[in-house]
Amino acid sequence: MPQLSAIYLDNNATTRLDERVLHAMLPYFTDLYANPSSSHLAGLEIQEAVENAAWQTATLIGAKEEEIIFTSGATESINLAIKGLANENENKKHIVTVATEHKAVLETCRYMERIGFEVTYLPVTSDGIIDTNLLNEVITIKTLIVIVMLTNNETGVIQDIAKMADLAHAKNALFLCDATQAIGKISIDVKKLEIDLLALSAHKFYGPKGVGALYISAEAKIKLTPLLNGGNQQRKLRSGTLNVPAIIGLGKASEIAVLELYNNKKRITKLRDQLENGLLKIEGSFVNGNTQNRICNTTNICFPGVNSEKFILALQNISVSNGSSCSSVTSQPSHVLKALGLSDEEALSSIRFSLGRSTTSHEIEETIERVTALVAQLS
């Protein structure tokens, strides 16, 4: 029996490293290996390259290079933002977030509850949208920060971040946005959106794993207590020798994302719609989340009566997901889909398909054919 070609439709979990990114990184593993904190010429050359990567990353989100702190990824960025703020603002002990946030936010907020903070977890509508009137009601003068992701990692739903940031600022609260799934898929301008802090990870948009960034608005004059103590690198906010090759990779991935966003969005949207239209012909199937306000590459579809874990294994060469990659190893229903009002059975029968730059129309047709046959077999 011939081996089936791999079809990768789990790009919200991680993306393949772009060869152009790898090419940019390679010299910094070998010839250009000096420590960017060193004062000699070799070190200064590396520091200049790091500063250029900061500029590339900043340009991607409409920021300034001095507003970028490099981290190990969005999870660390989120932890630095929330915990760092808390230590600098003892009089504000209230946090507002949303039930559909990534576990990096939810688990950090639960930690904050254990150390004396009050956290409000907002519900969402049945299509995953936040009621801004409800948000406005729960923000008080005691609210330290409002935390909302730009696009949901499981459904792709896009929130009205500008409106919510405005509501937070009206009551003197800061606004943190997890933009991990939005980067490279929609245009982002932190100044226009009035975002104070923003987290991102390189591996979600064809960069290397293990590197990300935290944007910290200069205008907001934010003070953060660092999570790590040591050599006081990165304006004393994140100590430790910089992971230079990964940072160069993040910068290059950011540069490519800016240049290719429009064309990628147009092509991938067409493929996503092709996939969705084909799969919705399956009796009883339906899309989870709002289908108007969402990113181009994601569709989350419920196939009632189909066990998603068995389904994923049976697909063999086609890689898809039944939820966040951080929690898909469990048999628990997705907290995101539960928040949308799905039953446990419906949530456990839902599959996330997330397309990428390399996805082809032929792969979509094969996926439709395989999924249709497999649902009939398993349901």
Strand ordering across the sheet containing 212-216:
68-71, 212-216, 197-201, 174-178, 143-147, 94-98, 118-122
- Phi, then psi, of 321 in degrees rounded to 5: -140, 160
Per the CB < 8 A criterion, the answer to whether 57 and 253 are in contact is no
Kindly state the tokens that stand for 289. 């989340």
Per-position DSSP letters for 199-224, written without gaps between them: EEEGGGGTS-TT-EEEEE-TTTT---
Kindly state the tokens that stand for 205. 């948009």
Rounded to 5°, angle at Cα 128 from 122 and 132: 50
Kindly state the tokens that stand for 240. 């430790």
Q: Which of 109, 177, 302, 326 is flagged as catalytic?
A: 326
Integer Cα distance of 186 and 293 in angstroms: 11
Q: Does residue 296 have an active-site annotation? A: no
Q: Tell me how long the chain is.
A: 379
Residues labelled catalytic: 326
